[in-house]
C-alpha cells in the first residue's frame, strides 16, 4: 500500500511540475499543497527527525547542483553585487525581520532573531523556476544576479540560524569565532576539494556509463561531511565545489548533468511534499496572521531596505532595484532550517515551524505571482535574448561544440553574405553577435566588421590527452618574442592554443607573437600518427 501511495504521489508531482512550468507557479508551493492535501485526507506524519535528515540531503543536492549549473561567465559581471546580497543582504534582512518580530509582534529578542535568520535567504528553486518558465530575461544581467544570489545565500542563513540557536540553548560559544569558523572552513574545504577533484577528473577517465555520476555524488557527500566535521559550513563548501566543477570541461560531464537533473527533481518533490505533510492545517491557520505580517514586512520593508542600501555603491537602475527587491522569495531552505530548530531541543514560545511554513507559502504565492507582471510594468524585460538556456547548456547536454571568430578590420569576409561562406566541413553558423545583440544568421545576412561568428559542429573529446603537451614559456626562453612562423616547428608538431595571463585564449596563427609566461598547448605525434612516447620529455627539449 505504501508503494502505491508513493507511486501516486510521484505521478501527481509530475503533473504539478508541468503546471509549474506552464504557468510559472513555484514548484515548492504546488508540492507543499499536495502534501497538505494528503494530510487532510488522513495521511498522518509528524516525524520531524526523519524530515530533518531528508531536508539535509535534499539541500545538499540542491546547493551542489545550483552551483554546478551556474555559468560563471554569465554571472561574473554581476558577481560582486550577488555576493554582497547573498551575505550582507541576508544578514540585514534577518536582523530587520528579527527586530520587527520583537518590537511589533512581541516575540522574545532571541526568538525573533532566530525566525529572521531562518527566513533570511531567498529560494533558488522558486526564483529560477519563475525566470525560466516565464522566459523572464531581465535587463542589466539581473536574471544572472538573482540566480547567483539565490543559489549562494543559504549558507549565510544557515550560519546565522546556528548562531542564534547556540545562544538560545546557552552554549558557551564565541559568536564571531563561530561565524568565522563556519565561513572560513567552508570555503577552505570547498576550494581544496574542488581543486583535488578537478585535478582527478582531468587526468582520469571513468569508462563505464553512469559511474561519473556516482563519483560526483560521492564527492558531494565527502565535501559536506568533511566541512561539517571540522566545524565549517557544509552547504557553502558544496556550492563552491559545484560552481568550480560545473565550469570545467571533463569526460562524463553530460552523464552527471542528466543524473542530477532527475535526482534534483526527485529530492525537491520529496522534500516539499514531506514539508507539506508535516504541517498541521489547524496550526497553519492559527499562525497565518503572524506569518502574513512577517511576510509583508519582509517584502515591503526588510528586503527593499537591504537591497537599496547595499546596492547604493554599485549604482544600479531604479527599476532593477525594484525587481531585485520583489524577487526575495522564501522557500525550502527556510522550512528545512525551521525543522532543524525544532529538533535542536531549544524551547520556543511560538510555533516556529508553522510560522516559517506560512511565510514561505505566502511568499511563493504572492511574490512569485507578482514577478512576471512586475517585470513588464518596470520595463525590465529584454526582448533580444532569452533566459531559458545558454549555448553552454546544450554543449553540456549534447555532443555539440561551439567555436567563435571575430571579423577584425581588414578581414576578407567583411561585406560577404552568410550564404557565401560555403563551409567545407560539417559546421553551421549558429549565430552572429553584433554590438551586444544576436543576429539570426540567415543566408542573406551581410557580415560586418567586429561581428562575432559562432560556428557549431560535433564536439571532439580527447580520450587520453597523451598527444598534447602543455607548458609555460619561461623568462628568457628562445621562443619569447618570436612569432609562430619563426619557430620553424618540425612537421610532427603544431601549436593548437595559447593562453595568456590565465584569461585570454589565443588561436595561434603564423603571425601570432609569443610572450613570456604564455601557456602553450602543442600537438606532437610520430610520423605514423601514433602518440609520441617521448612527449613527457618535451618540456626539456623545447
What SS3 state is found at 525? strand
**Which of 218, 201, 113 lies closest to 162, judged by CA?**
113
Confidence (pLDDT) at 141: 81
Contacts 24+ apart (CB under 8 A), 226-229: 226/189, 226/193, 227/185, 227/186, 227/189, 227/190
C-alpha cell at 462: 580527447
Q: What span, in angstroms and rounded, lies between the C-alpha atoms of 321 and 203?
A: 45
Averages of pLDDT over each 10 residues, the chain, 542 residues: 62 67 63 73 72 83 82 79 92 95 93 93 79 74 85 87 86 76 89 89 62 84 92 88 83 76 77 78 89 94 94 90 91 85 85 90 87 88 57 53 81 86 76 84 87 79 59 83 86 81 73 86 64 39 40
Residue tagged 532573531 (cell numbers): 113
Q: What span, in angstroms and rounded, lies between the C-alpha atoms of 363 and 360?
A: 5
- List phi, psi (to 5°) of 505: -100, 125
Residue tagged 548562531 (cell numbers): 163
According to DSSP, the residues that pair with 519 across neighbouring strands are: 472, 499
**Which of 379, 375, 300, 438 lies closest to 146, judged by CA?**
375
Confidence (pLDDT) at 372: 85
The CA-based angle 172-175-181, given to 5 degrees, is: 105
**Phi-psi sector, 106: left (phi>0), alpha (psi -120 to 50), beta:** left
Burial of 280 (0-12, 13-18, 19+ CB in 10 A): middle
**Residues 458 and 427: beta-carbon distance below 8 Å:** no
Confidence (pLDDT) at 541: 37
Confidence (pLDDT) at 542: 42
Tell me which DSSP letter residue 19 carries. H
The domains spanning 399-458 and 468-541 adopt the same CATH topology:
yes
Confidence (pLDDT) at 151: 81
- Give the chain's count of helices (H) and strands (E): 22, 8
**Which of 154, 121, 147, 73 lies closest to 388, judged by CA?**
147
C-alpha cell at 28: 515548492
**Residues 189 and 226: beta-carbon distance below 8 Å:** yes
**Phi-psi sector, 481: left (phi>0), alpha (psi -120 to 50), beta:** left
Confidence (pLDDT) at 534: 37
Q: What span, in angstroms and rounded, lies between the C-alpha atoms of 19 and 25?
A: 7
Confidence (pLDDT) at 45: 67
Confidence (pLDDT) at 91: 93
- Topology annotation, domain 399-458: Alpha-Beta Plaits (3.30.70)
CA dihedral 100, 105, 109, 113 (to 10 degrees): -50
Edge-to-edge order in the sheet of strand 519-524? 468-472, 519-524, 493-500, 504-506
Residue tagged 560582486 (cell numbers): 80
Separation in Å, CA 457 to CA 66, 249, 443, 497:
28, 17, 18, 19
Burial of 181 (0-12, 13-18, 19+ CB in 10 A): middle
Residue extents of the structural domains in the chain: 47-126+143-377, 399-458, 468-541
Burial of 288 (0-12, 13-18, 19+ CB in 10 A): middle
According to DSSP, the residues that pair with 12 across neighbouring strands are: none
Which pTM was predicted?
A: 0.68
**Which of 264, 252, 267 lies closest to 210, judged by CA?**
252
Confidence (pLDDT) at 192: 93
Report strand pairing: 493-500 vs 519-524: antiparallel
**Residues 151 and 239: beta-carbon distance below 8 Å:** yes
Confidence (pLDDT) at 26: 62
Confidence (pLDDT) at 527: 52
Confidence (pLDDT) at 104: 94
| The CATH number, out of the four listed (3.40.50.1820, 3.20.20.210, 1.20.1530.20, 3.40.1160.10), of the domain defined by the range 47-126+143-377 | 1.20.1530.20
CA 201 to chain centre: 20
What SS3 state is found at 429? strand
C-alpha cell at 94: 534577518
Q: What span, in angstroms and rounded, lies between the C-alpha atoms of 41 and 45?
A: 12
**Which of 182, 177, 181, 179 lies closest to 235, judged by CA?**
182
Q: What span, in angstroms and rounded, lies between the C-alpha atoms of 62 and 159?
A: 17
Q: What span, in angstroms and rounded, lies between the C-alpha atoms of 16 and 22?
A: 10
- Topology annotation, domain 468-541: Alpha-Beta Plaits (3.30.70)
Amino acid at each position: 500500500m505504501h508503494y502505491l501511495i508513493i507511486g501516486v504521489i510521484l505521478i501527481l508531482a509530475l503533473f504539478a511540475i508541468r503546471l509549474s512550468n506552464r504557468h510559472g507557479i513555484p514548484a515548492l508551493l504546488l508540492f507543499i499543497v499536495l502534501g497538505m492535501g494528503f494530510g487532510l485526507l488522513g495521511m498522518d506524519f509528524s516525524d520531524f527527525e526523519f524530515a530533518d535528515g531528508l531536508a539535509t540531503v535534499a539541500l545538499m543536492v540542491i546547493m551542489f547542483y545550483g552551483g554546478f549549473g551556474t555559468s560563471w561567465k554569465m554571472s561574473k559581471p554581476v558577481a560582486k553585487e550577488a555576493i554582497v546580497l547573498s551575505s550582507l543582504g541576508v544578514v540585514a534582512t534577518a536582523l530587520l525581520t528579527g527586530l520587527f518580530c520583537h518590537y511589533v509582534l512581541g516575540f522574545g529578542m532571541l526568538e525573533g532573531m532566530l525566525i529572521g535568520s531562518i527566513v533570511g535567504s531567498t529560494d533558488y528553486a522558486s526564483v529560477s523556476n519563475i525566470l525560466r518558465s516565464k522566459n523572464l530575461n531581465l535587463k542589466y544581467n539581473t536574471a544572472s544576479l538573482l540566480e547567483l544570489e539565490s543559489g549562494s545565500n543559504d549558507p549565510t542563513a544557515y550560519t546565522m540560524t546556528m548562531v542564534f540557536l547556540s545562544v538560545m540553548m546557552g552554549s558557551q560559544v564565541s559568536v564571531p569565532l563561530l561565524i568565522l569558523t563556519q565561513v572560513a572552513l567552508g570555503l577552505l574545504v570547498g576550494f581544496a576539494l574542488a581543486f583535488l577533484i578537478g585535478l582527478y577528473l582531468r587526468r582520469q577517465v571513468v569508462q563505464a556509463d553512469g559511474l561519473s555520476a556516482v563519483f560526483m555524488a560521492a564527492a558531494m557527500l565527502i565535501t559536506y561531511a568533511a566541512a561539517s566535521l571540522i566545524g565549517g559550513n557544509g552547504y557553502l563548501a558544496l556550492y563552491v565545489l559545484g560552481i568550480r566543477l560545473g565550469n570545467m570541461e571533463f569526460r562524463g560531464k553530460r552523464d552527471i548533468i542528466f543524473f542530477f537533473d532527475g535526482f534534483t527533481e526527485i529530492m525537491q518533490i520529496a522534500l516539499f511534499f514531506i514539508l507539506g505533510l508535516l504541517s498541521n492545517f489547524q496550526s497553519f491557520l492559527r499562525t497565518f496572521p503572524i506569518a502574513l505580517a512577517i511576510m509583508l514586512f519582509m517584502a515591503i520593508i526588510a528586503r527593499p531596505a537591504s537591497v537599496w542600501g547595499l546596492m547604493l555603491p554599485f549604482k544600479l537602475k531604479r527599476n532593477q532595484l525594484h525587481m531585485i527587491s520583489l524577487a526575495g522569495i522564501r522557500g525550502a531552505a527556510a522550512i528545512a532550517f525551521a525543522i532543524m530548530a525544532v529538533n535542536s531541543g531549544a524551547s520556543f514560545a511560538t510555533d516556529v515551524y508553522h510560522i516559517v511554513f506560512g511565510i514561505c507559502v505566502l511568499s511563493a504565492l504572492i511574490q512569485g505571482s507578482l514577478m512576471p507582471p512586475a517585470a513588464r510594468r518596470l520595463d525590465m524585460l529584454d526582448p533580444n535574448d532569452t533566459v531559458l538556456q545558454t549555448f553552454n547548456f546544450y554543449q553540456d547536454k549534447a555532443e555539440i561544440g561551439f567555436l567563435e571568430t571575430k571579423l577584425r578590420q581588414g578581414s576578407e569576409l567583411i561585406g560577404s553574405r552568410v550564404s557565401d561562406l560555403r563551409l567545407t566541413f560539417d559546421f553551421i553558423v549558429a549565430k552572429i553577435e553584433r554590438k551586444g545583440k544576436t543576429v539570426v544568421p540567415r543566408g542573406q545576412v551581410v557580415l560586418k566588421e567586429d561581428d562575432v561568428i559562432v560556428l557549431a559542429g560535433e564536439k571532439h573529446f580527447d580520450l587520453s590527452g597523451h598527444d598534447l603537451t602543455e607548458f609555460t614559456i619561461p623568462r628568457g626562453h628562445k621562443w619569447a618574442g618570436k612569432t609562430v612562423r619563426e619557430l620553424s616547428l618540425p612537421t610532427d608538431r603544431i601549436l593548437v592554443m595559447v593562453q595568456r595571463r590565465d584569461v585570454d585564449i589565443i588561436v595561434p596563427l603564423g603571425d601570432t607573437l609569443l610572450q613570456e609566461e604564455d601557456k602553450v598547448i602543442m600537438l606532437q605525434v610520430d610520423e605514423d600518427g601514433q602518440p609520441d612516447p617521448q612527449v613527457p620529455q618535451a618540456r626539456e627539449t623545447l
